Structure 1
Amino acid sequence: MNITRENVDALNAVVKVDIAKEDYSDKVEKILTDYRKTANIPGFRKGHVPMGMVKKQYGKAVLVDEVNKLLQDALNKYLTEEKLDVLGQPLPKPQDDINWDADAFSFEFELGLAPEFEVELKSKKAITKYDIIADDKMIDEQIERIQKQYGKLVPQEVVVKDSEITGAYTNEEKEIDNTVTLTLDKFKGKSTAKLFVGAKVGDVVTLKTKGLFDDEHDLMHALKLDHDAVHGLDIEVNFTISEINERQLADLDQELFDKLFPQEKVTSVTELRSKIKEDAEKQFVQQADQKFLNDVTEYLVENTKFDLPAEFLKKWMQTSGEKEMNIDEATEEYEKSEKSLRYQLIEGKLIADNNVQVTMDDIKNHAKEMIKGQMAQFGQMNPSDKELEDIAARVLSNQDEARRISEQLISQKLLEVYKEKANLKVKELSYENFVKEVYGDK
């Protein structure tokens, strides 16, 4: 067997594989001999079929199969030994005139080669890394939510501005009959809230669905209808009041602190505020990191210049999926995925240049921490190491889950590389201002 390569240019090559008779003849002969032993052909006893008849009936199919196996093994071995960094898979050049009665065969494959390039993390313009803080306003709002959650309901005679009202939305034509508990601040207009103020248990308030809430999802929940049913819905519904309550806020005392933080010692409002701030800012880190990661990724894709073997990749995409595509479909798919492919190559280069590695121990430890956190949510605060080991083993037996964790860890390690080596500026701001700056004031 002989394999040669011709580089068309820096991104494309053609590999030629020449297969001689001695490369496959012994294997084909052995398979045909085995066929002869088991062939069940009318008129002949098993094992006594003439070899000529076996070759005539099975010879070409066995030859084609063995040559193809030999071809794939040789090609894969060649790519590995030559350390060729290829994109997609080798594409066989069309051959309509293969003479399978010949002794020797030649096959050609097109290769798309990965480009060579350098990655510069130090951008001229600094990339913003946000440091999101929990300000006093957020902490005050969180404490009020906690006090409401742990407070008690006191029945009221009439509805006032801050009442919690239980009742049923009904509309006979649309078969709406749904009981909910609501507060007046949920309605879009002040005029709607005024319809409730002063009402008593048993009173019926008639409402128009159009413009009742800011968000259609609130209307879906109120009427227990799906998205299509509430879209553009403009009808009247009756709300029959069955309960009116005042929610009295829970006292900020030791009993409440112990309910909130049974595993930690919180003994004052100052410590409560500190703990709420700490917990909130831990959650903000992930959101800020994701924004930073997105911005670095965008910078790298836009500023790391290299060419791709575009025509090869379009041809490869035509046949690589479950459904074969024509060239126009493949071109459209390539244009959609080009940015992602570029980042994959950049990421691979950064992983190699910075020696980013994830070991099996890293994956297992991450899985155990993830499981421990999930168990804590259900009150299992101190699982044994054996429990964690056993559950982690079951989780990681799923290859997709193990790969997902591995990719997550690589992303985390690359994030640390970016924080260390990229040109960044830290901007501290509240969560409310972060949302306004990053996503717009909605």
Structure 2
Amino acid sequence: MNISLQNVDKVSAVLTVQIEKADYQEKVEKSLKTLRQRVNMPGFRKGMVPMALIKKQYGISVLVEEVDKLMQEKVGEYIRENNVNMLGTPLPKENNVNFEADENFEFSFDIALAPEFNVELSNNDTVDYYDINVTDEMVDQQVKMYTQRTAKYDKVEEYQENDMLKGLLAELDENGNTKEGGLQVEGAVMMPTYMKNDDQKAIFNGAKTNTVLVFNPATAFDNNEAELASLLKIKKEEVANYKGNFSFQIEEITRMIPGDLNQELFDQVLGEGKAHSEEEFRAQIKETIAKQFEADSDYKFLIDVRNYVVNKIGKLEFADELMKRIMLENNKEKGEEFVAEHYEKSLEELTWHLIKEKLVAANNIKVEQADITNMAKEATRAQFAQYGMINVPDELLENYSKEMLKKRESVEALVNRVVEAKLSEILKGQVTLNHKAVSAEEFNKMFQ
């Protein structure tokens, strides 16, 4: 067998494979013998079909299969051993191969090559890095959430904002009397704080238990079908039938009393002994928020590095026609229109992929199993943190991360996150960072 690679230009080549009978003969004979042991043919016992008959009926298909397997194996070896920086897969040219008449075969493939380029970053390169401010308001909101989790609920006599009301809801007629046969809901629950209409909301200010108030649910909740259907215990399609006033007899008023900022709460949120005062507790909360923001800043930094390096290198040359054929081959069901529409975007992603590969190689970044496991735990920890759960037991993190590692797509995503985290950390030390302090709102607008 002979394999050769001939460059057409800088970004494309033709791979030629010449296969002789001696390369495949033994494999074909072995496959035919194995087939003879399995095949059932009328008039012959199993395993006793004459080899001539086997060759006549199956010879060509076995030959094609073995030549194809041999060719794929050897082409793969050639590409690996010769470090051919290929994009996509080899695309077969129009090969005039006659398996019935010929014994020696020649196959040719078009190959798209990755463009050659250099990428180097140093302290002469300046990239923006956004430091997101952690405000006292953010800390207050987080602390408030924790105290609400340990809140108690008291029955009170007079309504205040954020209280919950329970009572009898009854439909009224045009004269303001309880409508005969009208809709009534016993034990109706609502929170006037969430009403959309301020005038309707004001009706409940200072209301006491056992009083009866008149309001218009449709106006109060701005004709929101979901909210009205839930309050009136009806189907959404029936909501339009109830535009008038209702009476509401208040039976209970429930008020949430936030939990105390005490040692028990500190230990529950942060872990035993991590904070001994409200000041220390708030400092820890602020540090946790800052750490979450740092991950966001690193993500934005890598996006900015990408844009900076792409602009620095300039537009790379690709074998466009070959690349479009490869893209079409991978998206046959979507057709040429899809390729035409998405080709330029795919090149942008490919360009960054090639740049990132060079940066990873240049900085000798490796991904170990321990890195993947730790990233799975950090990803799990971040998910819990979104719900305000900071002091998550290691055992729980371990169990959740193990489930994540069972899924192939999750592992691939984790590997990519490890690579990007390591790359970001290294590049932050290589380039000059132009630190910019921003609010969370300003930072989020950058992604809109």
The normalised TM-score by structure 1 is 0.80
1:361-407 deviations in Å (ceiling 9; x for gaps): 322444466678889969873649xx95x987775454433333222
**CA 1:30/1:419 → structure 2, altered by over 3 Å: closer, same or farther?**
same
1:111 aligns with 2:141: no
What is the RMSD computed on CA atoms of the aligned residues? 4.2
Q: Distance in 1 between matches of 2:340 and 2:222?
A: 47
Show the counterpart of 2:76. 76
> Where do 1:328-367 residues align within 5 Å?
328-367=337-376
Answering whether residue 437 of structure 2 is matched by residue 428 of structure 1, we say yes
1:410 aligned to which of 412, 419, 424:
419
Change (3 A) 1:328 1:410: same
Partner of 1:307: 317
SS at match of 2:3: strand
Give the conservation status (yes or no) of the 8 Å contact 1:16–1:108: yes
* Partner Cα separation in structure 1 for residue 182 and residue 304 of structure 2: 51
* Contact persistence 1:39–1:46 (CA under 8 A): yes
Decide which moves more: 97-106 or 390-399.
390-399
Corresponding residue SS for 1:196 = coil
User: Residue 207 in 1 paired to residue 237 in 2?
Assistant: no
Q: Which residue of 2 aligns with 1:190?
A: 198
Give, in whole Å, the separation in 1 of the partners of 2:184 and 2:342. Answer: 46
Contact 1:319/1:325, CA 8 A, preserved across alignment? no
Q: Identity of paired residues, percent?
A: 33
**8 A contact 1:188–1:212 mirrored in 2:** yes
Matched-pair contact (CA < 8 Å) for 2:168–2:185: no
**CA offset digits 1:262-290 (Å, max 9, x no partner):** 51253333223222222222222222222
**TM-score, L = length of structure 2:** 0.79
Confirm or deny: 8 A CA contact 1:375 1:381 kept in the other structure.
no
Q: Judging changes above 3 Å, is the alpha-carbon distance between structure 1 residues 223 and 428 closer, same or farther for their aligned structure 2 residues?
A: farther
Q: Give, as a single letter, the amino acid of the residue that structure 2 aligns with 1:52.
A: A
Whether 1:61 and 2:61 are equivalent positions in the alignment is yes
**Segment of structure 1 superposing worse, 392-401 or 190-199:** 392-401
Give 1:354 deviation, angstroms.
Answer: 1.0
Relative distance call for 1:135 and 1:99 in structure 2 (3 A) is: closer
How far is 1:343 from its partner? 1.4
Given that residues 60 and 99 in structure 2 are in contact (C-alpha distance below 8 angstroms), is that contact kept between their aligned partners in structure 1? Answer: no
- Looking at structure 1, the residues matched to 425 and 96 of structure 2 have their Cα atoms a distance apart, in angstroms, of 53
CA distance in 2 between counterparts of 1:203 and 1:197 reads 11
CA 107–325 in structure 1, closer or farther in 2 if over 3 Å, else same: farther
Structure 1: where are the runs of 5+ without partners? none
State how far apart, in whole Å, the 2-side matches of 1:101 and 1:320 are. Answer: 33
Partner of 1:49: 49
The amino acid of 2:116's aligned partner reads E
Residue 381 of structure 1: aligned partner: 393
CA distance in structure 1 between the aligned counterparts of 2:182 and 2:27, rounded to whole angstroms: 78
Q: In the aligned structure 1, how far is the partner of 2:313 from the partner of 2:321? A: 21
* Distance apart, 1:341 and its partner CA: 1.6
The answer as to whether partners of 2:200 and 2:219 remain within 8 angstroms in 1 is: no
Q: Residues 19 and 104 of structure 2 are in contact (CA less than 8 Å); yes or no, is this contact kept in structure 1?
A: yes
Aligned residues: 426
Indicate yes or no: 2:278 matched with 1:272: no
Alpha carbons of 1:441 and 1:301: their partners in 2 closer, same or farther (altered >3 Å)? closer
Report the residue type matching 1:381 in the other structure. P
What's the CA shift for 1:412? 0.7
Amino acid at match of 1:308: F
Say if 1:303 and 1:210 are closer, same or farther in 2 by CA, change over 3 A.
farther
1:380/1:273 CA distance change after superposition, 3 Å = closer
Contact 1:130 1:427 in 2 (8 A): yes
Matched-pair contact (CA < 8 Å) for 1:18–1:104: yes
Distance 1:236 1:409, change over 3 A: farther
Residues in 2 aligned to 1:125 and 1:181: alpha-carbon distance in whole angstroms: 58
**Greater Cα offset, 245-254 or 412-421:** 245-254
Q: 1:90, 1:111 within 8 Å by CA — same for their partners in 2?
A: yes
Change (3 A) 1:3 1:49: same
